[in-house]
Amino acid sequence: MIQPSPPEIFRNLAEENTLQELNYKKKCSQVGWLRLAIFVAGVSSVVYFFRQDLNSAAWVGLFLFYIVFIVIMRWHQRLRYKQYHHAFLKRINSEELDRLQGKLTSFDTGERYANPQHLYTSDLDIFGKHSLFQLLNRAVTAIGKDKLASWLQTPAKTTVIRERQEAVAELAPQLAWRQELQAKAMHYKQERQDSSPFFEWLHAPDFYKNKLWLKILIFVLPVFTLGAILAWWLDAIPTYSPVVGLMICQYVLNVRYAVFREQYYEKSSGMYEILKSYTALLTHIEAHSFKAKKLLELQQQLHIKQKTASNYLNELASIIEYISARLNVYMNLLLNSTLMWDYFWMYRLENWKKNMATNLDPVLQVVAETETLTSLAAFQYANPSYTHPVLSEQLFEVQAEALGHPLIFVTNRITNSFAMTGAGQTLIITGSNMSGKSTFLRTVAINLVLAFAGSAVCARRLRAYPAQVYTAMRTEDNLAESTSSFYAELKRLKMLIDLSVTGTPVYYFLDEILKGTNSHDRHLGAQALIRQLHQQNASGLVSTHDLELGNMEEENPDYIQNYSFNSTIEDDKILFDYKLHPGVCNSFNASKLMQQMGIHME
């Protein structure tokens, strides 16, 4: 039996969830009308009984209708949740189809992670519009997105990569579980892009430290205040002065520590929805059975003092919700003048911190890493022709078959195969304009980034030695710093030299090396740099229009190889095959291109 392809599966799931969404929407509407009918019937009946002086029946009726109304309301909420849940699942599968077609404009660009000074992310479109981050990311929470970004910015150690590969391989076929994880988090608004200040604040010193007297008042003052109100109501005391006195006491305390009360609210503001989403994710992770070592280790971190992490996070969410009750002016006045409301929940929060302060960061890491692993797993599932790379122990070994660029979305993607091994190696890539030199460098580099993050790669086969990736491709001038494009490129190359002399293994990818100066100096400078890098713990690819640079292979065949991309001219058409060929480029098209642009060439 032929298994359906990922696009067919995503399309079928999107259609199925659309039907389910409509079904639950219809049920919600019906139950909504029922709830309204119960409310009207309840009010009418109670009013009727009171008018007939059937007070006992009225109170009993009020109680019964209230219970029925609450049950119907809860039922309505569950149906509404299922309606939204299927809407989210429909959206998730529609987005998978968009990614396969290269429609990435609606996805988070990850622009906030962009750094022009990074070793490779700007040159390789790791972040930004039409980026690798958009293609990979399925994380809903800010911490999950942060974790994915960090994995794409830093190559992992060999043991870590293998653990991630094992976890991704286990999660990839578990489509339903992965999509449930994603959908559960989508029920809650993620308005705060960065929740780290809140969690850092949870490690701050306690407000109640050395304030035992205030802890006692939290429980004593509300009792006396409510008791005085009740006594005055029942005429047990002749005046309301005790009530006013006790409320003034609470008012004075509220004014005295107003700054701290405001701080607790401001720091926790907007965190309720985020914490509820974390709770939903943790509950889903805690209930699943894993086999991969990495996943089991993550799951084990969610059992803390005979309770699950989801219980602790849910408790924190509830505390934050109660602290936020002060948003209602009237409730704030009533609660804080009679019950010391803010102080009580501040006290509860600090008790929570005592149990979870040291365990909170590991729990958040579980959420972040699980979302990142599911992102990589979803990427692999959606692209079954991609492969997990084999990690080599041989220095700078790269063996690639049918290597393609994952951000090029065409039916027949052009792929190339190549190999290199050993430190100090340089592959010089020459070629005519627009023939594919730069794209090839980016193809190799971006697949190495994927490989060292623990992801599948766009290739039939890839064997690679884990090392640092470095690129110098898109250097531009900077008017603010009075920096020319040539000087900017030199600064970029200095970063490579400084990195290589530290002994860190480096794959370098240099596009149109030293293009900002005259041909003579460019040739001499490129030769000198390649010879210098040969002495370091580095290997890489250099693209150039300087065909004479290819002569270095004759002098140094042990560490320099020539490859090229060529084009052919038929009539007035320039044809490209975008295939990597051994040797120096033997075809040129600049004159023909200039003619086509209207420049009269002799």
13-42 pLDDT, tens digit each: 999 999 999 999 999 999 989 989 988 988
How far apart are alpha carbons 29 and 27 in whole angstroms? Answer: 5
How far apart are alpha carbons 328 and 333 in whole angstroms? Answer: 9
Give phi and psi for 139, each to the nearest 5.
-70, 145
**Confidence category of residue 503, pLDDT binned at 50, 70, 90:** confident
pLDDT of residue 477: 45
Which alpha helices (H) appear in 234-292, and where do they start and end? 241-256, 258-268, 271-286
How far apart are alpha carbons 309 and 361 in whole angstroms? Answer: 11
For the segment 317-332, the average pLDDT, to the nearest whole number, is 80
Q: What one-letter code names the amino acid at 525?
A: G
* pLDDT for residue 193 is more than 70: no
Coil, helix or strand at residue 244: helix
* pLDDT for residue 333 is more than 90: no
* Encoded tokens for 433: 């304009």
CB contact burial 216-246 (16+ within 10 A = b; e otherwise): ebbeebbeebeebbeebeeeeeeeeebbeeb
| CB-CB contact of 585 with 432 (8 Å) | yes
Residues 6+ apart with CB under 8 A from 379: 135, 136, 386, 455, 456
Query: Residues in the chain, how many?
Result: 602
Residues 6+ apart with CB under 8 A from 36: none
375-403 pLDDT, tens digit each: 999 999 999 999 999 999 999 999 999 99
Domain boundaries, the chain: 1-101, 196-287+306-363, 390-596
CATH assignment of 390-596, given 3.30.70.2740, 3.20.20.70, 3.40.50.11750, 3.40.50.300? 3.40.50.300
| CA-based torsion, 156, 160, 166, 171: positive or negative | negative
* Encoded tokens for 154: 């830093």
pLDDT of residue 592: 45
Q: What one-letter code names the amino acid at 176?
A: A
415-474 pLDDT, tens digit each: 999 999 999 999 999 887 777 889 999 999 999 999 999 999 999 999 999 999 999 987
pLDDT of residue 594: 43
C-alpha distances in Å from residue 277, one per residue of 184, 336, 359: 7, 29, 18
255-294 pLDDT, tens digit each: 888 888 888 887 777 788 888 899 999 999 999 999 999 9
CB contact burial 441-452 (16+ within 10 A = b; e otherwise): bbbbbbbbbbbb
